[in-house]
Amino acid sequence: MLRSLALVLASVFLVLAQSSAQSPSSPWPPSADHKTIPLWPERAPGAPTTKAPEADTTTDKDRQVAGQRVIRIGNVSSPTLTLYQARAAQKPQSAVIVFPGGAYRILAIDLEGTEVCDWLISIEVNCVLVKYRVPDTGPYPKSDAALQDAQRAIGIVRQHAAEWQIDSKRVGVLGFSAGGHLAAALSTHYDQRLYQPVDSADQQSCRPDFALIIYPGYLTNADKNFEFSPDIPVTASTPPAFLVQAEDDPVHVENAISYFTALKKAGVPAELHIYAHGGHGYGLRPTSQPVTKWPDLATQWLRTVGVLPAPQ
């Protein structure tokens, strides 16, 4: 009997130890010191696509990145934005709105979200992480939902710019994979909202001032010799962009190359970095692959285009 009691107590202590080890260090959901607000005051527009509660859908079979698991949030029907503020400054600072990837099925919320915000605030850029609706909410125009969320998010950021110490004329976007497509879609679909205006946030411009697009997908059609998507109508008014992709990316490097070429033809400043190796879905986690050094290049580009001040 004593042996059985000891085993029970050991099991309880193991569960408690695992919980205490996981909970404090978990980057999601965000802690109370990060402001999180819903994107929509009531239900998001359109028909819901989820059939189960929102949850971390990661399994033991899912690929790890740099030896770590990835938090894969699925079944998002109530989109939000979370503010990660850089240190207090005497004047408003730039901001980047981050769209995690996940094939418009899930959101890699830590790998391509919270970890990105940690980097941005370390270089004194405010970060706004968007948990947009998935699954089956893109690529536009297959569905309006994700792009609606993106348009709404940038309007909310500009609406709260003074309160959040953000320069409303230096608000950019950063997206990975499907989120990279979403950043490009927002960069080329800002003249007209894809939903009925809700409040004063929708009176703000939803055009990004700049874009960072990391290993994007859905920008070309593999069945048509990687023809650039006509659903991404690049013009001279499209914001400048920084692009990164690896040549061995199974999603195809032509996505970044084609977007860069379209920007160049339109006379839009752009910077493209292509690496021989790196694959897909590495986020900012450092590995032996040189492509994972891209944040250093991005920081220099942000200085080049005036988002960050030049070093003293």
Tens-place pLDDT, residues 85-102: 998 777 899 999 999 999
pLDDT of residue 60: 92
CA–CA separation, 17 vs 27, rounded Å?
18
> Quick one: pLDDT band at residue 312, thresholds 50, 70, 90?
low
Q: 113 near 98, Cβ under 8 Å?
A: yes
> Quick one: pLDDT band at residue 20, thresholds 50, 70, 90?
very low
Nearest to 49 by CA among 136, 108, 130: 136
pLDDT of residue 32: 87
Angle between helices 145-159 and 178-188 (to 10 degrees): 70
How does pLDDT run across 122-169, given as a tens digit for each residue? 999 999 999 999 998 989 999 999 999 999 999 999 999 999 999 999
How does pLDDT run across 288-303, given as a tens digit for each residue? 999 999 999 999 999 9
Mean pLDDT of the chain: 91
pTM (two decimals): 0.91
Query: Above 60 in pLDDT, residue 182?
Result: yes
- pLDDT higher for 20 or 77? 77
Q: 51 near 85, Cβ under 8 Å?
A: no
Structural domains in the chain, CATH included, are 30-304 (3.40.50.1820)
